[in-house]
A and B are shown apart, each in its own frame.
Chain A
Amino acid sequence: MKRADAKTTAAAAAPVTKGKEKKKGKENYRPTRNACKLCAPLGAALAFKGFSKTIPFLHGSQGCATYIRRYLISHYREPVDIAASNFSEEAAIFGGQKSLLLGLENVCRQYRPEMIGLATTCLSETIGDNVPMFLKEYRKGREDGPPVVHVSTPSYRGTHAEGFHEAVRAVVESLATAPETPSREGINLFPGMVSPADIRHLKEIFKDFETEVTILPDISETLDGHLWSEYIRMPEGGTPIQKIRGSGRARASIEFGRVLSGQKSAGKSLEERARVQCFSLGLPIGVSESDRLFQTLSELTGHRVPERYNAQRERLLDAYVDGHKYVSGARAILYGEEDLVIGLAAFLSEIGITPVLCASGSKSGLLKEKLSQVTPDISKIQVEEGADFSDIEEIAAQSAPDIFIGSSKGYRIARALNLPLVRAGFPIHDRIGGPRIIHLGYQGAQALFDRIANALIEKRQSDSKVGYGYM
């Protein structure tokens, strides 16, 4: 039988042109080849999965929900139920009100959700469905029903990263109430698109600081759950609806993401509306960015950093030293959501790895500026916003990299260049355990450091003819 792996990859077959040629502007338009981004409704659906007993609902064609489910399931390996209004041709012509109302009713009957997260798709946006008005109509006589939070996420605007943050903002803006006088009950944390393992770790940290935290959204249980004895329509876990409502009474909010810090966000919206001060931090990957988190927590709570985290930090520094010669001087290709790329770049610069390419499918216009805040020499880094994997491949081929760090979607490029790929972020479609990858805090950096150092060691070991059993 013929084998696929003996053949050239499409990647290798593609003629190389310079990625730099791709600049914005109509005359220089280039189609997207192997996108390094997903559509906004995916991000919104993912965010909604992190709120208690919330069913994501896409107002549009059936395929959107099905494709997004398949994509999320392949990473999380958990059931991901997403309802859709399942547009017919009639709805596309005459408007989707009927489909939406019937859909909401059916989903309430079959799922009995505590909240419905309603995201629009490009179809319903393009035909101009007035969803807020439809919802007002729907509410009549159903005042006691579950809240329906609407977020506008046409896939021709932004990427999954924006869809995620917009959905979180929509939830907070619709549910959180502003108290008459500011109160100081716990801290809100907006972690962004991080893994269930990351969120579990963050919960531990807050617990050790003896501080009540509301994590928005919290996918730690809903997308990395247990075996069941019956079908659970909406898994346990997620931010309780009561706590979302109460987030306006928190003493402060912390949001992760240096790019997010320059954009509209749930945290900043809450600050404006309810005077909950919002602290924007980078995604806490590596020592320095994690230090900022622990420092902020220490200041906000009045507690000293718990001893176990000092110990984790010391152990991490010891590991940095033990492993530095295996990683120092290495050149990495980073890609993914902008804030993940920045977080990883901050971490890599601590251990002497240069991220020679930092690429994202998003286009915030902020990536370079924010990267320069966390890396010693931005001139050594090629920064590409709005990049696709073909751009990444072309640039990588010319930048003599040693390692790829990012989602599984970079695998074929890394393979074509015979380089290791350390999997991080989302999606991980070719390995078990994507949701259990930890990136954040000293503990996350420790795990990443070990994996990156070992990948480089393994590469040297397997490339060598000697067969060293001692590295």
Chain B
Amino acid sequence: MSQIEVLKDRKSQIHLKGSEPFEMTCDRHSLSGSVSQRACVFCGSRVVLYPIADALHLVHGPIGCAAYTWDIRGALSSGPELHRMSFSTDLQETDVIYGGEKRLYAALTQLIDQYQPKAAFIYATCIVGIIGDDVAAVCSRVSREKGIPVLPVHSEGFKGTKKDGYRAACDAMFKLVGREDTADVSPFSINILGEFNIGGEAWIIRKYYEKMGVQVVSVMTGDGRVGEIGRSHGAALNVVQCSGAMTSLAEMMQKEYGIPFIRVSYFGLEDTAKALYDVARRFPDNPEILTRTMDLVKNEIRAIEPDLKEYRKDLEGKRAAIYVGGAFKAFSLIRALKTLGMEVVLAGSQTGTDEDYRILEQMCDEGTVILDDANPVELSKYVIEKDADLFIGGVKERPIAYKLGVGFCDHNHERKIPLAGFIGMYNFAKEVHSTVTSPVWKFAHRRRRV
């Protein structure tokens, strides 16, 4: 086959464990002309705030940004579903010339009157920054007139990376914190941060905490409500998953309200158990919490262990490639795959930090390829070289895997199956098993044995 060339400027973002001392460039703007798998600042803000189901999400800009983010995530709501609507000011050429503020004002007032949201988020897209609309001024005017928080989200696509979008979302959300009464909040209480209720995951996790005797004040943002966020400052602890997205909110809450935070993950048995224990240990005044946690973990693991063992029989020794948004998820996936007896041959992320990649490097075996901000050409090069049996990623990675005859597990926001918690590990194992052991691969070119 023709040699796949890695662009010179990209070489420092690729590391082969064991081949050289670890040093990796990351956290930088994507190279021009590279088909990056990353999205933009807007995308970062949109994914974080999207699950807040009783808020209005209005995208201020031309139609594309709103159209591509209409009801695409599996973030579920137990009540209102306003988040599943896609609203856009749909700017036209004349607005670009004369400014879009009038349209924004008209759109906001109409939509608030029609849908009666509890708050509104206004996402500024690329050209809003360029044409100089004073989004904040329009927001505060409408907020005064309508009596609800109307929050600008500074998510112009070119102003950094997806991570900057996370921060912009946290900044907007922080303005909601502290608005509601916290009288009935227990001292044994937490906020769940960075859990988006994909396929109902937040409900699973919330139930664990409730069984432990810990009150969940708010989930940010899965099945999220403006009112819950408003009283989240009453919680004793912030428990942050998907830390890349939500750490900045936790930090702001620590500074302003003195709420400590811990980082956790709910993917895989080990990480889920560790998360629950870490939270339980934060409440030494109530030792029953820890006792209940031990029972819970034992029972949950016992319930799925036999099935996991069965799956493991078929999966032992199979090779997996992981390419996900945040590196923290990759850590959990490596551990979860080890539970299934699988070997990780490629691990990468869109937005990992230097520290993330150092941890990743330590967790991986010799010969594992570590990638930052990769593109399809690089991903496929290493999937082939490492002869992977499974690829874990999102929709953009799926056809790469399939074309090359490799199984695929969607671990992104579009999925419908909960992969968090203990039951999530069972679902994950089942999903991995169903793709890796499918008979279709024997027809794939790379694996054709007939």
List the interface of chain A (C-beta within 8 A of B). Answer: 1-4, 7-10, 13-15, 17, 26, 29-35, 37-39, 41-42, 57, 60-71, 73-74, 77-89, 91-92, 99-100, 102-107, 109-110, 121-123, 126-127, 154-157, 159, 225, 227-233, 390, 409, 412
Chain B positions within 8 Å of A78 at CB level: 399, 403
B338 at the interface (CB under 8 A from A): no
Quick one: which of B33, B68, B102, B405 contacts A102, CB cutoff 8 A?
A: B33
Give Cα distance in the complex from A368 to B58, angstroms. 31
Q: List 13 A-B contacts (CB under 8 A).
A: A1-B418, A2-B200, A9-B81, A10-B85, A31-B88, A33-B86, A35-B86, A35-B88, A42-B64, A62-B40, A102-B33, A106-B33, A123-B126
Give Cα distance in the complex from A79 to B445, angstroms. 17
Beta-carbon contact of B158 and A31 below 8 Å: no
**B106-114, B234-242, B430-438: which one contacts chain A?**
B106-114
Contact with A along B32-63 (1 / 0, CB 8 A): 11111111111100000000000000100111
Beta-carbon contact of B81 and A10 below 8 Å: yes
Chain B positions within 8 Å of A32 at CB level: 63, 66, 87-90
Beta-carbon contact of A156 and B82 below 8 Å: no
Quick one: which of A9, A67, A102 contacts B65, CB cutoff 8 A?
A: A67
Contact with A along B423-450 (1 / 0, CB 8 A): 0000000000000000000011110000
Given A123-B158, A231-B404: A60 touches B126 (CB 8 Å cut-off): yes
Chain A positions within 8 Å of B183 at CB level: none
Beta-carbon contact of B39 and A231 below 8 Å: no
Give the interface size class of chain B.
35 or more
CB proximity to A under 8 Å, residues B389-430:
395-396, 398-400, 402-405, 418
Give Cα distance in the complex from A99 to B89, angstroms. 29
Beta-carbon contact of B32 and A228 below 8 Å: no
Give Cα distance in the complex from A457 to B5, angstroms. 55
Beta-carbon contact of A7 and B39 below 8 Å: no
CB proximity to A under 8 Å, residues B79-106:
79-93, 95-96, 102-103, 106
Given A38-B67, A62-B38: A30 touches B76 (CB 8 Å cut-off): no
Chain B positions within 8 Å of A105 at CB level: 33
Chain A positions within 8 Å of B87 at CB level: 31-33
Chain A positions within 8 Å of B42 at CB level: 63
Beta-carbon contact of B159 and A65 below 8 Å: no
Other than the known A79-B399, A79-B403, what 12 A-B pairs have Cβ atoms closer than 8 Å? A9-B84, A10-B81, A31-B88, A31-B89, A31-B106, A33-B111, A42-B64, A61-B40, A69-B396, A79-B400, A84-B33, A229-B1
B77 at the interface (CB under 8 A from A): yes
Give Cα distance in the complex from A32 to B157, angstroms. 20
Beta-carbon contact of B398 and A73 below 8 Å: yes
B131 at the interface (CB under 8 A from A): yes
Beta-carbon contact of B86 and A62 below 8 Å: no
B282 at the interface (CB under 8 A from A): no
Give Cα distance in the complex from A39 to B70, angstroms. 13
List the interface of chain B (C-beta within 8 A of A). Answer: 1-2, 4-5, 7, 9, 29-43, 58, 61-71, 76-93, 95-96, 102-103, 106-107, 110-111, 114-115, 126-127, 129-131, 157-160, 200, 203-204, 375-377, 380-381, 384, 395-396, 398-400, 402-405, 418, 443-446
Quick one: which of B43, B83, B200 contacts A67, CB cutoff 8 A?
A: B43
Chain B positions within 8 Å of A26 at CB level: 102
Q: Nearest CB to that of B89 among chain A residues?
A: A31
Q: Nearest CB to that of B129 among chain A residues?
A: A92
Given A37-B67, A87-B158, A231-B376: A31 touches B58 (CB 8 Å cut-off): yes
Report A70 CB to chain B, min CB distance, Å: 5
Beta-carbon contact of B403 and A126 below 8 Å: no
Chain B positions within 8 Å of A123 at CB level: 126-127, 130, 157-158
Beta-carbon contact of A89 and B81 below 8 Å: no
Give Cα distance in the complex from A456 to B418, angstroms. 35
Highest count of chain B CB atoms <10 Å: which of A34, A68, A159? A34
Highest count of chain B CB atoms <10 Å: which of A17, A60, A106? A106
Q: Nearest CB to that of A34 among chain B residues?
A: B86
Chain B positions within 8 Å of A71 at CB level: 68
Given A87-B158, A155-B62: A31 touches B90 (CB 8 Å cut-off): yes
Beta-carbon contact of A15 and B32 below 8 Å: no
Quick one: which of B36, B70, B71, B444 contacts A62, CB cutoff 8 A?
A: B36
Give Cα distance in the complex from A225 to B400, angstroms. 13
Give Cα distance in the complex from A390 to B114, angstroms. 12
Highest count of chain B CB atoms <10 Å: which of A31, A41, A78, A155? A31
Give Cα distance in the complex from A42 to B67, angstroms. 11
Chain B positions within 8 Å of A409 at CB level: 70
Beta-carbon contact of B381 and A231 below 8 Å: yes
Chain B positions within 8 Å of A102 at CB level: 31-33
Beta-carbon contact of B37 and A66 below 8 Å: yes
Beta-carbon contact of A13 and B82 below 8 Å: yes
Given A42-B64, A85-B33: A17 touches B7 (CB 8 Å cut-off): no
Report B153 CB to chain A, min CB distance, Å: 14
Give Cα distance in the complex from A41 to B126, angstroms. 15
Beta-carbon contact of A31 and B110 below 8 Å: yes
Beta-carbon contact of B64 and A64 below 8 Å: yes
Beta-carbon contact of B158 and A231 below 8 Å: no
Report A166 CB to chain B, min CB distance, Å: 15
Beta-carbon contact of B399 and A73 below 8 Å: yes
Beta-carbon contact of A89 and B7 below 8 Å: no
Beta-carbon contact of B81 and A7 below 8 Å: yes
